Every structure is written in structure tokens, then in C-alpha cells.
Amino acid sequence: MATLQAVRGTHDLLPEAAAKHNHVVATARGLGQAYGYGEIATPIFEQTEVFKRTLGDTSDVVTKEMYTFEDKGGDSITLRPEGTAAVARAYISGKMQDRLPLKFFYHGPMFRYERPQKGRQRQFHQIGVELFGVADPVGDVEVIALGAQILGRLGVLGWCTLELNTLGDTESRDAYRAALVAYFQDHFDNLSEDSRDRLHRNPLRILDSKDQGDRAIIEHAPRFDDYLTPAAQDFFARVQEGLTDLGIGYARNERLVRGLDYYCHTAFEFTTDRLGSQSAVLAGGRYDGLIGTMGGPDTPGVGWAAGIERLAMLAETWPAPPRPVAFIPLGEAADRALRKRAFELRGAGFAIDMGYSGNLKRRLNRANKANARLAVIVGDDELAASRATLRNMDTGEQQSVPLADLALHLKD
């Protein structure tokens, strides 16, 4: 019989990896709370239409990567490939438009059928934030600043570059789209098959092409800046000014785009060269047309998402786990007494490590492996005197303390 393995493109979060995962989430949650972002959790699957409407029928995610199936009731269901659409759906179905502005923080697993590689799995985990109801550039600056501070708190900001671009307003995009179509039409025969397919349906996505032939053509494509309206130029200038005021450095990347029409104005990515081909660590932008596209009330929005696995790979230092106290009973009566005391102390917030068998030497070895700071040793003589031997595992020093005062000594 074949050995059972995790499905290709998935991985187990064993205790050490889970501790890093949880640290990323806790760090992001804590800073999100400092900015006023409340936590939201959406189901891991949605009606397929939620993602087809938001990601676009022609996107690679919809056409090639979504895990879509028909449930027993005949409905088309999709495991969520990203978080923004699900949060937007919750905003619409929850009829929250009277409570704007709204700030959401989320985390959880996402699913995409892709070729597994470093930094890219078929089940992966993200943290993300969404800000609904703020049309002013201060919203863009705020979410970018929050992302930067999370990366800084995790110790990875120094390995990252903030790449920034503007997608303009509707008038700017319409003019630029027409210019792109005319330019690429002149090079149609030399475009890749994917780019030919995108030419009239989603020409901005050609700018994302990794095909070398496409890249050579893209190099001389029209510049978005030449088609920005004065209002769009002013919006982008205010975003840049806000970041500069906060001391957040950035690099302009004119080829950083979002292909769908509901995206506008700011697009940004924190990128790194330390993860191979997967350079994006945290990415987002403004999507004022998204909620209207989904059938909800027109609501401005801006947000970002970041891959937890990528952040965990990028970080070099992690907080040490709390050191437990090892309980070492010698004899059956001491074992019963200490298990009761361990139950009480764990309920009071102490981390207690207690094995199930073994002599003093074996239990002390276990305490060392658990990185215990103290060992509480109780044998028949100590139990008769209602006392315990408290050993400092770093220095070896010992003292006898009353069992009744154990919590006070452990706290000290």
C-alpha cells in the first residue's frame, strides 16, 4: 500500500512552522488594530460568480487556476483564490454601506492550481486589509503605511522595495487603453498567443507578459503618464507626498499594472530579490469600481494582501517561545499531586511541561529538551512535608519551597 502523502502543492504546518505562521498573523493583527482595522473571516468557498465577476473571465486565475466544483445541490462553488472579493461580497450581503468608512483585516488559506515552487503553493495563506468608503489619497497612504510597518515589525522591510504606480482615473485608462491597442495592433504578428488573445479584451495585461518577445515590444509601448488627466496626476502626487511625509521610500514602476477596469489610481507592491522568481511579498491597490461590479452600491476601496509563507521564508529572526516549567514527580503519590497542581497552574496561565513516565535522569533530560527554565521536583519526602525542590535549569541552583506557595515562586 502506498504511503499517504500531503496533496501536491500543499504542506503541513508542523509546530515550528505554525509558530512562525501565527507570529506573522499576530503581528499583522496587532498593527491592524492600532490602525482601527477589525478582523473579518469569510468562508473558504464562495459561489463561483463572486470570483468570475471580480477576477475577469479572461484572467489566468479564472481560466486556469481556480478550484471549482459543483456541490450536491448543483451550485457552482469555488475555493477562494484571493480574499478581496470575499470581503467585498460580505460587505454587500451584510448591507454595511451605512457604516462607512469600514476597515477590515483578514487572514486564512487561499487556493490556486499552479505549478508548485518556492514561495508558491496550491494552498497558501495570506494576510490582508481592505478599506472601504475612503476616496481620498489618504486611504492609499494609510494602507501602504500599515503594510510597511508590518513588514518592519517582522524584520523584513529592509529586504523589500516599495514599487509604486498610478493607473489613473476612468478617462485616463480609456485613453491609454486605446493607445495600447493601436500600438500592439501594429506588432500583432510578433506577439505571443496569450497577448494576442488579450489585445482587445484586456490590453493592459499584456504589460504583465513574461514572454521575451513580448517584453521587447513592451519596452517601446506608450507611457501611461502621457495619458493621465490633471485630476489623476494630482491624486498620484498626493499619494507620493503622503508617503514622503511618513519617510516611506518607494521606486516608480511604470509597468506595474492591474488589468481589470475596476482598478484605478494607486497600484503598489513590496518586492524582494530573496525569494527567487516570486518577488512580490505584499501587493495591492485602489479598486473603486469593484463593489459596483459585484452588484453592490458604488463604494471606493483600497487594500492589499501578503503571503504568509513568503514572509516566513524572508524573516531571519523569530521571537523565542516561552520557556515552560518542568514538573518532575518521583513516585505515584507525587505524580497524582503534581498533575492536580499542574492542572490548576495551567489554568492560571503557567506553561507546565510534565511527562508521563521515567526516572529523575530521564525527566531532567526531557526538561532540558523542552528548554524549561525551572524544574519542580517532588518525591515522597517532599510530599510528606508539603514542599517541592525548585531547580534553576540554567544554573543548577536548588531551593526548597512550600507547595502552597509554588505559584508565587514560579512567577518570580
- Residue 407: CATH number of its domain: 3.40.50.800
- Rounded CA separation 304/287 (Å): 11
Q: What is the pLDDT of residue 26?
A: 97
Co-location of 98 and 23 in the same domain = yes
Does 221 reside within a domain? no
Q: What is the pLDDT of residue 225?
A: 92
- Rounded CA separation 166/236 (Å): 6
Q: Which residue has the cell 511618513?
A: 246
Does 188 reside within a domain? no
Co-location of 381 and 301 in the same domain = no
- Rounded CA separation 102/91 (Å): 9
> Domain end: 287, 314, 341, which one?
314
Q: Which residue has the cell 512580490?
A: 280
pLDDT averaged over the chain?
93
Co-location of 258 and 407 in the same domain = no
Does 271 reside within a domain? yes
Q: What is the pLDDT of residue 204?
A: 85
Q: Which three cell numbers stand for residue 376?
A: 519542580
- Torsion angle defined by CA atoms of residues 313, 315, 317 and 319, in that order, rounded to the nearest 10 degrees: -90
Q: What is the pLDDT of residue 120?
A: 80
What digits encode the pLDDT tens for the residues 245-267?
A: 999 999 999 989 887 778 999 99
What digits encode the pLDDT tens for the residues 153-192?
A: 999 999 999 999 999 999 999 999 999 999 999 999 999 9
Co-location of 332 and 401 in the same domain = yes
Co-location of 348 and 260 in the same domain = no
Co-location of 233 and 104 in the same domain = yes
> Domain end: 275, 293, 314, which one?
314
State phi, psi for 244 to the nearest 5 degrees: -65, -40
Length of the chain: 412
Does 91 reside within a domain? yes
Does 214 reside within a domain? no
Co-location of 236 and 376 in the same domain = no
Co-location of 104 and 40 in the same domain = yes
How many separate helices (H) and strands (E) can be counted in the chain? 15, 16
> Domain end: 285, 314, 343, which one?
314
For residue 138, give every residue at least 6 positions away whose Cβ sits within 8 Å of its Cβ, in sequence order, or none.
242
Q: What is the pLDDT of residue 59?
A: 65
3-state helix, strand, coil in the chain (%, to 5): 45, 20, 35
Co-location of 307 and 340 in the same domain = no
Q: What is the pLDDT of residue 306?
A: 98
Domain of 21: which CATH number? 3.30.930.10
- Rounded CA separation 75/24 (Å): 35
Does 277 reside within a domain? yes
Domain hosting 390: range is: 325-411
Give strand pairing partners of 254.
Answer: none
- Rounded CA separation 261/290 (Å): 9
Does 348 reside within a domain? yes
Spatial strand order of the sheet with 251-252 comes to: 38-39, 102-111, 123-132, 301-307, 280-286, 264-271, 161-166, 251-252
Instruction: Give me the number of domains the chain comprises.
Output: 2
Question: CA angle, corner 304, sides to 313 and 70, nearest 5?
Answer: 90
Q: What is the pLDDT of residue 106?
A: 98
* Residues of the chain with confidence (pLDDT) below 50: none
Does 144 reside within a domain? yes
Co-location of 90 and 160 in the same domain = yes
Q: Which residue has the cell 507546565?
A: 352
Give strand pairing partners of 124.
Answer: 110
Co-location of 341 and 381 in the same domain = yes
Co-location of 257 and 152 in the same domain = yes
* Residues 239, 137 contacting (CB under 8 angstroms): yes
For residue 266, give every residue at least 6 positions away whose Cβ sits within 8 Å of its Cβ, in sequence order, or none.
137, 140, 144, 164, 165, 166, 167, 235, 236, 239, 285, 286, 302
pTM assigned to the model: 0.91
Q: What is the pLDDT of residue 64?
A: 78
Half-sphere exposure of 357 (CA within 13 A, CB side): 0
